A and B are shown apart, each in its own frame.
Chain A
Amino acid sequence: GAVVSQHPSRVICKSGTSVKIECRSLDFQATTMFWYRQFPKQSLMLMATSNEGSKATYEQGVEKDKFLINHASLTLSTLTVTSAHPEDSSFYICSASPGGGPLTTGELFFGEGSRLTVL
């Protein structure tokens, strides 16, 4: 199946610094990628939809100035957590689909996830 890769898999940073997480589709082009946040022992919460060449669409309650998303190419989306604080510590997961445009049977491929710890 299609491969989505995230980097870094783990990152520890000091409070107040910014952290960038990359999400790459390795063997397909993705006009749309998704960013999720997962709290311990909980489900995935969709944070935003990353659109290549345009602004990301954020879900209600997600601070767009806090979580900057850039989708610079058809194979790369980045999530930057700005001025990180301990409450931002979480597992961040991205996903993408090889399909372009709406499909009736969408299948998403997920990255390995990135664990952020803010001290």
Chain B
Amino acid sequence: GDSVTQMEGPVTLSEEAFLTINCTYTATGYPSLFWYVQYPGEGLQLLLKATKADDKGSNKGFEATYRKETTSFHLEKGSVQVSDSAVYFCALSPPGGTYKYIFGTGTRLKVLA
């Protein structure tokens, strides 16, 4: 079945460091791919998305490119801030739009001042 694999955390970085959180997926067809962010005690917020191969999603300095050949959707940011400290979830939505998202296990990011 479909699945999402994320790198395990926690990831601890200094402010202004470069961030990469790896995400790979297994799916039939062409799913839509998402990154969600969860701040402490809150629900999930959509960070960015990509709906077809080679699409690049971007928001708030974060980017991720839908790579069909490597079945990956790695999240990157050139310079992280303390306020980026949160848990990041990679997710896919299978083709056909059933909304039954499949989430990765989440990666906790801690940015130190």
Residues of A within 8 A of B (CB): 1, 4, 6, 32, 34, 41-44, 46, 49, 93, 95, 97, 99, 102-113, 115
Cβ–Cβ < 8 Å partners of B95 in chain A: 104
Whether A105 contacts B101 by the Cβ 8 Å rule is no
Instruction: Return the chain B residue nearest A114 by Cβ.
Output: B43
| Contact status of A106 and B93, CB under 8 A, knowing A43-B104, A43-B106 | yes
Number of A-B contacts defined by CB within 8 Å: 69
Instruction: Return the chain A residue nearest B51 by Cβ.
Output: A105
Whether A46 contacts B100 by the Cβ 8 Å rule is yes
Whether A102 contacts B103 by the Cβ 8 Å rule is no
Whether A107 contacts B49 by the Cβ 8 Å rule is yes
Instruction: Return the chain A residue nearest B4 by Cβ.
Output: A43
Whether A104 contacts B51 by the Cβ 8 Å rule is yes
Per DSSP, chain B at the interface is loop
Whether B103 contacts A106 by the Cβ 8 Å rule is no
Interface residue count on the B side (C-beta < 8 Å)? 25
For B24-61 the 0/1 string (1 means CB < 8 A from A) is 00000000101010000111111001010000000000
* 8 contacting pairs across A/B (C-beta < 8 A): A43-B104, A44-B103, A46-B101, A49-B100, A104-B51, A105-B93, A107-B46, A107-B49
- Assembled-state Cα–Cα distance A106/B102 (Å): 12
Cβ–Cβ < 8 Å partners of B104 in chain A: 43
Cβ–Cβ < 8 Å partners of A42 in chain B: 105-106
Instruction: Return the chain B residue nearest A5 by Cβ.
Output: B43
Cβ–Cβ < 8 Å partners of B36 in chain A: 110
